[in-house]
Amino acid sequence: MGGEETRLAGQRMVGRTAIVTGAGRGLGRAIALGFGSEGAHVVLAARSIEELEAVAAEARSLGARALVVPTDVTSSASVDDLVGATLAEFGTIDVLVNNSGVYEDVPMIEMSDEQWDRVVSTNLRGTFLCSRAVGKHFMSRSRGRAINIASNLGLVGRPGFSAYCASKAAIINFTRAVALEWARFGGQMNAIAPGYFETDFNTALRADHAAATKVVDRIPAKRMGMPDELATLCTFLACEASDFINGETVVIDGGESIR
């Protein structure tokens, strides 16, 4: 077997198409590049075209085909455009990763209507709109996988994060309900609930030694996760090795949520 054949034999997603929302940075970037390294065509969706183009260049350097589609996941028209552009370019969709998410660190009684709506609309409505649009394609093919990036804060509470906790808890139960619906035609939906990971979102926190130490001290593993660790789990849930897993939420937080 030649070198190129050997490389492709180790890739589990050769020729498949995966949409990743929130793909311009953080965990979304890592997930998209993880799929690209496994041979998938990656569709990168987010609001910032500059960030998406940078990730697309990285994916192409891995040998993947990459499509950039600026998307507002809170808009059904924008999501429909995302699906249409993907089908026009690649002809099919095999995997959807609902990763777009925002948060507000504000006590509940001080939170404005706009702050609440921003979090719930992006995190929960966005997951619904993308799942509905792609799910119609999955149903027409009698197969397809969706992976929702929830959070360990969907399982435990944290002061100041009421909207975020509520939206992520809703995503976990949304995953269970949709998994039951999609199982009837061969589709699957699972969720991943990460804790703290080293990304650009918490660069300032990690630069503050006292604050970072306080966070790490409550994680039994005594460290934050690395984005590649979550990307590997995401790839597993997108391939045949996870065929008998449906409606589940896999927590990956170093044991923080079980203390």
In tens digits, the chain (259 residues) has pLDDT values of: 344 443 444 577 899 999 999 999 999 999 999 999 999 999 999 999 999 999 999 999 999 999 999 999 999 999 999 999 999 999 999 999 999 999 999 999 999 999 999 999 999 999 999 999 999 999 999 999 999 999 999 999 999 999 999 999 999 999 999 999 999 999 999 999 999 999 888 888 889 899 999 999 999 999 999 999 999 999 999 999 999 999 999 999 999 998 7
Annotated catalytic, 164?
A: yes
Ordered by where they begin, the domains of the chain are 3-195+227-253 (3.40.50.720)
Q: Which residues contact 4 (CB under 8 A, 6 or more apart)?
A: none
Q: Which of 35, 128, 138, 164 is catalytic?
A: 164
Q: Do β-strands 95-98 and 17-21 pair in parallel, antiparallel, or remain unpaired?
A: parallel
